[in-house]
Amino acid sequence: MTADKASVLNVKDLWVSYATESGPMDIVRNVSLAIRPGEIYGLVGESGSGKTTLARALVRYLPRNGSITKGSISLGGTDLLSLPSNELRKVWGARITMVHQDPARAINPAIPVGEQIAEMARVHLGMSNSQARQKALEMLAKVQLPDPESVAGRYPHQLSGGMLQRILIATALTTNPQFLIMDEPTTALDVTTEAVILDLVRDLLREYQTAVLYITHNLGVVARICERVGVMYAGEIMEEGSIQQVFKQNFHPYTLGLLGCVPRINKDKSDIDLHTIPGYIPRPNALPSGCIFAPRCPLVEEACRQSRPDLIDAGDGHMSACLRWPEVVNIQPQSAKHARSERDASLQEAPLLLDARNIKKQFKLKRSGLANLFSWKSDTVQAVDNISIRVRKGATMGIVGESGCGKTTFARCIAGFETATSGDIILDGESLPPAIAKRSKAALKNIQLVFQNPDASLNPQHRVGESVGRPLALLGNVSQREIERRVRELFEAVNLPADYVNRLPHELSGGEKQRVAIARAFAANPALMILDEPISSLDVSVQAALMNLLAELQRANGTSYLFISHDLAAIRHLSDWIAVVYLGRVWEIGSAEDVFAPPYHPYTEALLSAIPIPDPDARQERIRLPGSVPSAVHIPVGCRFHPRCPRKLGPICETEEPPWQNVNRFHSICCHIPLEELTRLQAPSSAENEKERP
């Protein structure tokens, strides 16, 4: 942290301010960073922590109303803040490069990708057209894209997200820069793709000896690829140190809180309540006068409110901005308050609520008129192909899979938003028509949904109390007073203050809006609640509080959940049963403990090994899936997973559909590999020799 001779990037006491209608706001305060060549420095923080603003300040590319008000930035001895803008342009791309968050939007849609790399080489390396082209091919090979020649000529819309992210990385390394900023580079990707990209990034950066600032909200990613980490909160760095220091013996209650918020794949709702951080991140124009974390801190005392603690060295370069850092280690995680064994036993025998059999859903791909200019065959997408799932009363069935696997379409078929092409939906012994228009009022009441994006599902013109009261008014003849009473109850149940009923959605935070959506879904007192990625767009601390809330509401009301998510840890935490879906089919189904323990389906195994765990000592087998999920238009024959399966047996996988094998009464796997063989291959001992971290 102190000006380090060996560091390439030295940032000292940086302040960044935005001019806003309510006066200047200091978004980043007093930040110092030093990053050495070849070092990957992780910057973690929730939304509003100022991490992206910091990144943009480092390259001096702030929005028009933003400015750096104090401090210095030096890159390899060059003072960046005093450079005139034409000189700065020579630093951009040559000495500092950036990899952006959403690769599909950060690459120009109208220019072939090869040219987008080649232009870097021409401008900064002074290469001729043909040299630059050659360089582009070389870089594409470097990021392990198959057939660089053909990739170079393609446009972004013809490539997958993972390939585009490789291209952005290739572009960023073309000039062999001194400093590279990666801003949430894997956030938009699926977990198996993310794992492959993270491996690539780590290997390449070791080779290039670039200093890297890796910005993310994901603690697991940091633990996997960074050497040092800084934890940012409301514009300041709260804790900084090596991965081991921060993850294993952390010295700041905020970091501890963040780590406690993340669900783990070896624990679930009956083992622990997730840790939550009460309250909200303060606005930059309403900061507490003392420690900025004090209002949310479990260790707060009078001294914390008096003056803002400095970031001090607590030993071995481990920095903390907490007055009481030596006491942080004493905070214990909360364990769950309910006995697990009875619960489990009762759930496995609980009666069936939903029995969905052989659900299929096909879509005809329609092209818009103009697209017909160049091709006009229409394709059929088999989005859901024969999925059968049962949900027991009071239990949670988790459906996990990567984007495009059909999990959301399946849920929409159950809810009736999509009309299933074929299959039976039986709810509480009653067969439901596939189309929502033909369902009875009682059936409609019994299935409720919570969507990923509460902004899209709450009417912005209606007070949220009205939104919650609406199903009550529609689904039963209840008096106005009774409705108001129920709404107040529901608000209390989802831990929202009673006076929130009169607010409009835009006056609420993302997490609060999602609570309203949950309250509204519970208003109908449904038997089955479909939760479609209900927490994916929220910060980890908010996610944790919502997961606790969902678990608690289930306990209180006995509602069954169908929980759809791509997040294995969240699925593991909330679910009693889990189905793993890939390309429109279920490949493994069973109780949560069984699915997350060997024998696994090879796809489940790959998912588990890909998931970034916020623990530097976590032992994970390194199984990486090649390529990307094939489109549901061209489904591979035989076992659908065979083109990517790391445990493929042989030709049988390419020709024959695999059989279902029962591991026990509740756990089945659809694979050609015999169960004994899977168990042997996946035994924990074999992981020892392949363990990931030295």
Interface contacts to other proteins, rule CB under 8 A: 59, 61, 89-94, 96-98, 100-102, 105-111, 119-120, 123-124, 155, 157-158, 168, 171, 369-376
Q: Of 514, 530, 364, 354, nearest to 426 (Cα)?
A: 354
Judged by beta carbon, residue 332 or residue 375, the one nearer other proteins is 375
Q: Is 278 helix (H, G, I), strand (E, B) or coil?
A: coil
Output the smallest distance, CB 646 to other proteins, in A: 30
Where would I find the beta strands (DSSP E) of 21-90?
23-35, 40-44, 66-75, 78-79
Judged by beta carbon, residue 104 or residue 347, the one nearer other proteins is 104
Judged by beta carbon, residue 368 or residue 461, the one nearer other proteins is 368
Amino acid in position 659: P
Judged by beta carbon, residue 30 or residue 216, the one nearer other proteins is 216
Judged by beta carbon, residue 339 or residue 376, the one nearer other proteins is 376
Judged by beta carbon, residue 158 or residue 459, the one nearer other proteins is 158
Judged by beta carbon, residue 95 or residue 318, the one nearer other proteins is 95
Backbone conformation region of residue 310, classed left if phi is above 0, alpha if psi is from -120 to 50, else beta: beta
Asked if residues 246 and 255 have their Cβ atoms less than 8 Å apart, the reply is yes
Judged by beta carbon, residue 213 or residue 238, the one nearer other proteins is 213
Output the smallest distance, CB 105 to other proteins, in A: 4
Cα 337–chain centre separation: 28
Judged by beta carbon, residue 71 or residue 93, the one nearer other proteins is 93
Judged by beta carbon, residue 96 or residue 535, the one nearer other proteins is 96
| Cα–Cα distance measured from residue 31 to residue 52, given in angstroms and rounded to the nearest whole number | 13
Output the smallest distance, CB 370 to other proteins, in A: 5
Element (H, E) at 451: none
Judged by beta carbon, residue 101 or residue 193, the one nearer other proteins is 101
Judged by beta carbon, residue 372 or residue 431, the one nearer other proteins is 372
Output the smallest distance, CB 254 to other proteins, in A: 30
Judged by beta carbon, residue 263 or residue 404, the one nearer other proteins is 404
73, β-bridge pairs: 11
Q: Is 251 helix (H, G, I), strand (E, B) or coil?
A: coil
Q: For tokens 């998510």, what's the residue? A: 565
Asked if residues 538 and 546 have their Cβ atoms less than 8 Å apart, the reply is yes
**Residue 221 structure tokens:** 């990613």
| Cα–Cα distance measured from residue 14 to residue 73, given in angstroms and rounded to the nearest whole number | 8
Output the smallest distance, CB 51 to other proteins, in A: 17
Output the smallest distance, CB 453 to other proteins, in A: 20
Element (H, E) at 236: strand 236-242
Output the smallest distance, CB 93 to other proteins, in A: 3
Alpha helices, DSSP H, located in 209-237: 219-225
Output the smallest distance, CB 200 to other proteins, in A: 19
Output the smallest distance, CB 71 to other proteins, in A: 21
Helix, strand, coil percentages, rounded to 5, for the chain: 40, 20, 40
Give first-to-last CA distance, the chain, whole Å. Answer: 25
Output the smallest distance, CB 128 to other proteins, in A: 16
Q: Of 593, 534, 597, 583, nearest to 561 (Cα)?
A: 534
Judged by beta carbon, residue 167 or residue 530, the one nearer other proteins is 167
DSSP 621: -
Output the smallest distance, CB 154 to other proteins, in A: 8
The DSSP annotation for 120-160 comes to HHHHHH---HHHHHHHHHHHHHHTT-S-HHHHHT--GGGS-
Output the smallest distance, CB 225 to other proteins, in A: 22
Phi, psi of 597 (to 5 degrees): -135, 150
Judged by beta carbon, residue 32 or residue 97, the one nearer other proteins is 97
| Cα–Cα distance measured from residue 459 to residue 193, given in angstroms and rounded to the nearest whole number | 35
Q: How many CA atoms lie within 13 A of 396 on its CB side?
A: 28
Output the smallest distance, CB 184 to other proteins, in A: 12
Q: Of 539, 529, 516, 534, nearest to 560 (Cα)?
A: 529
Output the smallest distance, CB 106 to other proteins, in A: 5
Q: Extract long-range pairs of 324-332: CB within 8 Å, 24+ residues apart.
A: 324/253, 324/299, 325/251, 325/252, 326/251, 327/299, 328/250, 328/251, 328/252, 328/253, 328/256, 328/299, 329/249, 331/253, 331/256, 331/298, 331/299
**Residue 287 structure tokens:** 């900061």
Output the smallest distance, CB 276 to other proteins, in A: 33
How does 499-534 read in b/e, with b if 16+ C-beta sit within 10 Å?
Answer: ebbebebeebeebbbbbbbbbbbbbbbbbbbbbbbb
